[in-house]
Structure 1
């Protein structure tokens, strides 16, 4: 079906940007949703001696795209109307679906994973280039642009698999992460880069607005509630019925690969606790 098309759409966030006329800079946010970006890493303590980072117009654009992506993704997730149960997995994972205005169908996966939100963010965002080590549906991910420690532009190519009705796709996405108390938000959306046009031999698919919400389970364990909104346009001439059947299946497969990689504890598979030394690519 479509296992090679679904990618992890984690990528952009929301509130810490203020525009300054004539001289753009990244400043401490007045919005309570997210902390300031004046830290070197989203899980490092706030340091008052770190000055705001000045961003170029292009970099500001990526952050702004991320803010809008997360805002729209959370509107979809938090709107309780229209969601229907799509599948219930044997392990208890549940995938819901709803049809957005315009006819696109989106999917929301709810699961509990045996890892803290910080560990999952490290795997899914900080070391996103290592995802192809443990996810067989991804052949390549490369960070093309980085804006601080929280925003990036990535290029991703899906793996070629036998029997795949969709064919290989590539994605150009902006990604961002944000932490608020016990929650970490990963969001993303398709973006444009003049120097990186669609690749020959691939169909340029688009994702977003999409997000992942990681929240600690309040039972003294290191488990996390994992909420993933998958919102994707695979492009090409494909019947909606095929795409809408394959996307939730691929979403479940991705979560299965993530669990399996986490359970091995192997750095060769790309899973480690924040603070450990990762294996070079």
Structure 2
């Protein structure tokens, strides 16, 4: 029912972050200022600009300031949640070792943390999940399309995503407007973020605009296995619409497992191609 809604998104909703309270991380805070400070050319892939065309000129100071604040706050907010040690309960445990834990945040909203091992290096996963995000629909049937609307520097982008319409999907298609960004700290790769606003792309007719975040993915190589990665994914989503919480809270973790299954299948296909 909900698999068509779940995807990997990275970004931040400005109202989300500014309304949240609680102390910030200190011991493992990721410095995002270096990630977000390089932004001069905006790549526009909307229908009006033409796919892949480049709009010259720098972002306005207000736009840069918003992205800088959202980058830094989003990832650290998500890491604070995923690395907290209290409140997590085991939701699902698969035979292959994949596990999902859930935790209730303020307002009784649940977030889900998936932990898995994947046969790929963090660099390979970073390329698939971030650099080649527009190709995700080719291997993930829950997605119809992902388009990069703005490229803000090398490691931050604004994307629009449409979930697929599948048989038995009781909630209908959703679309997402997100700021995605990446960072590295030591041997770990971080993908973080959630929903954002884009004046030129308001909610689309026929879709409910769902919101993510703050959310994150943590990738790091397993000890003595440089070609394998620990994959940790915090899913923090508001699907919007009139849906029972019980339905959402059962479907979201199952959808995380489905996503991981599709990702593993894609990685296997890539390995086979490299050997031929």
Give the TM-score band, short-chain normalised.
0.7 to 0.9
2:151 is matched with which residue? Answer: 146
User: In structure 1, what is the Cα distance between the partners aligned to 2:67 and 2:226?
Assistant: 36
- 1:34–1:201: structure 2 CA closer, same or farther, 3 Å change rule? closer
CA distance in structure 1 between the aligned counterparts of 2:69 and 2:230, rounded to whole angstroms: 27
**Partner of residue 56 from structure 1, selected from 60, 64, 72:** 60
- In 2, Cα distance between the equivalents of 1:218 and 1:69? 28
| Alignment partner of 1:3 is 2:8 | no
- Number of residue pairs matched? 239
Check conservation: 2:11, 2:70, Cα contact below 8 A: no
Q: 1:35 to 1:172 in 2, by over 3 A?
A: closer
Work out whether residues 10 and 124 of structure 1, in 8 Å CA contact, stay in contact via their aligned partners in 2: no
SS in 2 for 1:36: helix
> Is the 2:150–2:158 contact (alpha carbons within 8 Å) kept by the matching residues of 1?
yes
> Aligned-pair RMSD on alpha carbons?
2.3
Aligned with 1:173: secondary structure?
strand
Displacement after TM superposition at 1:11 (Å) = 4.1
Q: Distance in 2 between matches of 1:60 and 1:138?
A: 31
State the distance in 2 between where 1:213 and 1:2 align: 23
Paired residue secondary structure (2:178): strand
Larger strand percent: 2
- What TM-score, normalized to structure 2? 0.81
Partner of 1:190: 195
Unaligned runs of 5+ in 2: 13-28, 40-57
CA distance in 1, matches of 2:33, 2:77: 19
CA contact (8 A) 2:38 2:152 kept: no
Check whether the contact 2:157–2:180 (CA below 8 A) recurs between aligned residues.
yes
Deviation at 1:149, TM superposition (A): 1.0
Distance in 2 of aligned mates of 1:112 and 1:84: 20
CA contact (8 A) 2:32 2:72 kept: no
Structure 1 unaligned runs (5+)? 13-30, 41-53, 273-281
How far is 1:32 from its partner?
A: 6.8
Residue among 63, 67, 73 paired with 1:68: 73
> What displacement does 1:34 show?
5.5
Deviation per CA, 1:162-190: give whole Å up to 9, x if none. Answer: 10111100000011000111100000111
Separation of aligned partners in 2, 1:67 and 1:110: 24
Matched-pair contact (CA < 8 Å) for 1:9–1:230: no
Asked whether the equivalents of residues 70 and 210 of structure 1 are also in contact (C-alpha less than 8 Å), the reply is: yes
Query: What residue number does 1:179 align with?
Result: 184
Is the contact made by 1:173 and 1:189 (CA closer than 8 Å) also made in structure 2?
yes
Question: Deviation at 1:10?
Answer: 3.0
> Deviation of residue 110 (structure 1)?
0.3
Q: Which has the higher helix share?
A: 2
